[in-house]
Amino acid sequence: MKKAIVIGTGAGGAMAAKELQGHFQVTVLEEGGEFKPFSFKVESLTRFRKSGLYLDEHMISGLFPYMRIQRASSGMVLVYGRGTGGTTTLSTGNGLRYDESLKKLGIHLDEEFAELEKEMALSTDHQKSWTAATKALYDACEELNLDPMPTTKMVDYTRCVHCGKCVLGCPTGAKWDSRRLLQDSLAHGALLKTNCKVTKLGIDRASHKVNKVYARENGKNVTYSADLIILAAGGLGTPIILENSGIMCNPTLFVDPVLCVAAPYEGAGQDKEIPMPFLMERDGYMLSPYMDYLSLFFNKSWRLPINGILSMMIKLADSSIGVSYSRHTTKELTKRDKERLRAGVADCKSILGKLGIPEEDMFLGTPNAGHPGGMLPLTSAEAESFHSDRLPENLYVADATLFPESLGNPPIYTILAMAKRVAKICIADQA
């Protein structure tokens, strides 16, 4: 049986590994260790905010090593997961299809999405247990004709305990993350190497194939080889590995910036509500209720009791202008991006105003982002192959790096469908 190496255990990597195992002998390489949910009580930690102990967002990695922080050139905080499951363990569990930009290229993933519907437990059952504040926000959005819709979640609500920690690792396993796919592939014979950071790929120029995968595993230099390489180290990680291997990507990084507008609201209870219970699509951005933990700990404006803050998120479909390379990440917001953010802030203030909150009591969160991608975007010429000519023959990418533009929306479900397609192409090629 031919061998395959999958780099990364997030949505793309774990799905590719699961689909390939059995057709290939799969070895999965993960930079981090085994993921464990956040074990501290958030309420207890918030008591120390006024002490000045929480100086910088990078400190979150000390408390929770599976959440990594990086700053772009603009100062924007970039958040990503490190450990088995990648960023899916820190996600809000949204199961939403967003593939319009792919359809424009002639890429149709209907078959893959149909398979996902059979494999995943998708639900809006959470609506039955919304808090009073969430219901009030939903009603306000309806009155403003913003067309709110309950968010489809990849969550088993019979196991949900409404702890509000979805983005810190679900403690009960109610929320889906890609470790389930990883466990499936391991049960069928795949191998997993954790604490194994891939640094670069060795490319044989004569055959135009990857012949070595170089990594640091538990502090030692190691080398792997395989017939097929699937690179799914994430929108910030994949371009760096390619750069180190002599393959430059495009300066087309997007990150889906998030900005929250919040206000004091007695008994808000958003810390015990699921994040993003409903959402609204706007021109170039989306809106949704969301408790922003980075702002809660590190933004001085948010030093209110956690259960007394009501927050609305703006998630922006930013312009594809930026880079993520080994020495720096450059990401600036364009004039259009800033105009859309201002429009989103105005929307959020209108929504909160409907609840009787004075505008002078409202405050902004810390701009942050967690959906990087787009530096090796698919083109119409690659609609069938999912393979760029600049890549070696046996190297495929299977993460958000492939998106032609920002979704401005949760990407995990669409990444899963793309990874399924990549795996099918690889299986067909070796048949």
**At 30, which CATH number?**
3.50.50.60
Sign of CA dihedral 337, 338, 344, 348: positive
Same domain membership, residue 301 and residue 234: no
Do 269 and 152 fall within a single domain?
A: yes
Average pLDDT over residues 88-93: 96
CA atoms within 13 A on the CB side of 404: 18
Share of the chain above pLDDT 70, in %: 97
Q: Which of 31, 372, 28, 395 is nearest to 198 (CA)?
A: 31
Residue 90, in any domain of the structure: no
> What is the Cα 322 distance to its own chain's centre?
18
Same domain, 275 and 360: yes
297 three-state secondary structure: helix
Query: Over the chain, what is the mean pLDDT?
Result: 94
pLDDT at 164: 87
pLDDT at 49: 65
The C-alpha atoms of residue 227 and residue 422 are separated, in whole angstroms, by 15
Residue located via tokens 């609609």? 383
Average pLDDT over residues 293-321: 93
Give the side-chain half-sphere CA count within 13 A for 146: 28
- pLDDT, residue 60, reads 76
On the question of pLDDT at 53 being above 70, the answer is no
Q: Is 90's pLDDT higher than 90?
A: yes
Q: Supply the pLDDT for residue 63.
A: 73
Q: Tell me the mean pLDDT in the region 93-116.
A: 97
Instruction: Mark which of 369, 389, 404 sits at the end of a domain.
Output: 369
Q: Which domain holds residue 285?
A: 50-75+122-169+257-369
Residue where a domain stops, chosen among 340, 369, 398: 369
Please, are residues 230 and 426 in contact by the beta-carbon 8 Å criterion?
Answer: yes
Q: Which H/E stretch holds residue 415?
A: helix 412-430
Q: Let me know whether 277 and 140 are in one domain.
A: yes
Residue 114 domain flag: no
How far is Cα 430 from Cα 23, in angstroms, rounded to an integer? 9
For residue 124, name the pLDDT band (cuts at 50, 70, 90). Answer: very high
Which range among 58-62, 103-107, 156-160 shows the weakest confidence by mean pLDDT?
58-62
Amino acid identity of residue 238, one-letter, is T
